[in-house]
Structure 1
Amino acid sequence: MDETIASYTWLLEKLLEVMCGRQPSVVVTDGDESMCKDIREVFPSATHRLCAWHFEKNETSNVKEAALRERFNRWLFGDMIVDEFLMEWSDTVEEFGLEESLWANQVFYKKEMWVNAYLREKFCVGIRTTSWCEGVNAIAKNFLQSKGTLFELVQNLELMVKDYRNNELLAQFRTIDGIPVMTTSLESLERDAAETYTRAVFGDVRLEIERVAAVNLVRLGRSLTTKIYTLEDYGFSGRNVIVLFDINMGMMKCSCGRWCRNGYPC
């Protein structure tokens, strides 16, 4: 009925109740202040990140210089470490005179919620925006009408859930029983990924496999049983990426953090 703190608190507590007390690990919102306060109180252990689409929209409204917008987009999506971001932010504040900018100070205060350097190792399965939620809303509109009775509302919600679950079963069937066509030159790697991931995620993994052709090996080192690969993207010499791999421990770690963030290697 409204977007007050009391209403959001009630809503989140009811969500926690139907989830048997299990808190979400990640919450993505448009940055509503009332919701932010309630999430901290009801889901204290959850990582709260701002929707990238809403942040870009807010950024476009408040930042007129194209060069400055590019900086914000780099911080929003780029792979970098926290110290690198803080150094760039300090230089940018001085370059563009943002010391007295209320908006810039506000977004810096919330940097842990939108800067990718702080979120790169949070397991978000690739979700950066609230668009998935909007997708569910679009599905709901096909089943619900404002003129219906409360009884019809419950019936239609049950139909919607059945339709939603049926789509999930179809996707699961295609994953288990379908055999995708191998299209890359690294067929053994691609085939193993096809057996490990769902079809939807496999599409993202295959894009990463295709990008192997654009990676140069700078050097290979070793520390006990761990191999240390120093790599660089073609065309970006000097920007090294460090990858640690230990087959005995079943460990692989890349400085980009995509494995921790999305659940598949870069």
Structure 2
Amino acid sequence: MPSQRKVSVAQGFQAEISENAGLSLKQSHDLMGKEAGGMGNVGYTRDDLKRYLRTRRERSLKYGEAGMLIDYNFFGDVVTFDTSYKTNKEYQPLGVFVGFNQHRQIVIFGAALMYDETIDSFKWIFGTFLEAMCGKRPSTILTDQDHAMAAALSVVMPETFHGLCTFHIRRNFMKHLGNHYKKNSDLPYMFGACTYEFEEVEQFNRVWEAMVKKHNLKNNEWLSGLYRIRDKWAKCMMKERWIAGMRSTQLSENLNAAIKNHLKLDHDLVQFFRHFNQVVDEKRHNELIAEYEMR
């Protein structure tokens, strides 16, 4: 009788594993019947299992995707996008949209494994992200100095301010200008001051010109190109922009470290996202703990 039928916790867990492994509802039910010594010993029907799994999906939607949309509504004004994590079987870049909440904890808004990092691919991922977020564009998005990414953003999110990650700028600085200074050189300090310290444009320009002249960098193409887009990274040029205290994609770097604890190189795509979801669940659980402690 219906009142006597029930999917136990252990059986439900096994059903979820079977579903994740790709077994059909019938195959999953038949497997449990064989393990129990016959269908009469299972304790529920196939329809009961179907209802259980449907309820689980609805619960997952409520606290998963729906929760993500709610988080984005509150905290999606400033978003970082990073593709530096590539530790998966196909060595494809994992693009992750990240922000932070009122506890300054990581909030994951979305993620996708990309086939490549071309303009068309970035157009697709940015467009799909906006579609998933009901068309709401962030006020600011921070990325690295990827030209294809910048080109795609100018088309898909023309009204969104595109800032550059200062962490990647500093790393590229060492790559392009590392041979221009010796031990005890003040070049990195002058560059760092222009990036993080100066509040006034006049002061920025004065020190920048002094740095270029002192270290003979007038003809350095990378530095000249960086100066032309100084409104995307220099502190004095971004005073009027709403960036919520974020200047880099360091949140994504922290997320990458957490992902490495769950993922292995031999995971296929299904396994990859199943384990990635564990990282998402862990971050959301931390948010619940912070909310409880605050109250």
Q: Please indicate the TM-score interval, normalised by the length of the shorter structure.
A: 0.5 to 0.7
Aligned equivalent of 1:199: none
Aligned equivalent of 2:225: 106
Q: In structure 2, what is the Cα distance between the partners aligned to 1:162 and 1:31?
A: 30
Deviation of 1:157 (Å): 4.1
TM-score by length of 1: 0.59
Q: 2:280 matched to 1:161? A: yes
Aligned equivalent of 1:233: none
Asked whether the 8 Å contact 1:30–1:51 carries over to 2, the reply is: yes
TM-aligned CA distance change 1:82 to 1:12, over 3 Å: same
Q: 2:192 matched to 1:73? A: yes
Deviation of 1:46 (Å): 1.9
Q: In structure 1, what is the Cα distance between the partners aligned to 2:267 and 2:207?
A: 55
Aligned equivalent of 1:44: 158
Deviation of 1:107 (Å): 1.1
Q: In structure 2, what is the Cα distance between the partners aligned to 1:151 and 1:108?
A: 43
- Please tell me whether Structure 1 or Structure 2 has the larger radius of gyration of its CA atoms: 2
Bigger relative CO (Cα 8 Å, ≥ 6 apart) = 2
Q: In structure 2, what is the Cα distance between the partners aligned to 1:13 and 1:117?
A: 31
Q: In structure 2, what is the Cα distance between the partners aligned to 1:90 and 1:144?
A: 47
Unaligned runs of 5+ in 1: 177-266
Matched letter for residue 20 of structure 1 = C
Aligned equivalent of 1:16: 130
Aligned equivalent of 1:54: 168
Match of 2:149 among 19, 30, 35: 35
Say which is worse superposed, 118-127 or 28-37, in terms of deviation.
Answer: 118-127
Matched letter for residue 255 of structure 2 = V
Unaligned runs of 5+ in 2: 1-114
Deviation of 1:154 (Å): 4.9
TM-aligned CA distance change 1:117 to 1:158, over 3 Å: same
Matched letter for residue 89 of structure 1 = W
Q: 2:241 matched to 1:127? A: no
Q: 2:287 matched to 1:173? A: no
Q: Render the CA deviation track for 1:108-133: whole Å, top value 9, x for unaligned.
A: 11211121111133222222221211
Q: Render the CA deviation track for 1:39-66: whole Å, top value 9, x for unaligned.
A: 2221212222222121112212333232
Q: In structure 1, what is the Cα distance between the partners aligned to 2:174 and 2:267?
A: 40
Q: How many residues align?
A: 176
TM-score by length of 2: 0.54
Identity of aligned residues (%): 28
Asked whether the 8 Å contact 1:26–1:48 carries over to 2, the reply is: yes
What RMSD in Å do the two structures reach over aligned CA positions? 2.2
Aligned equivalent of 1:139: 258
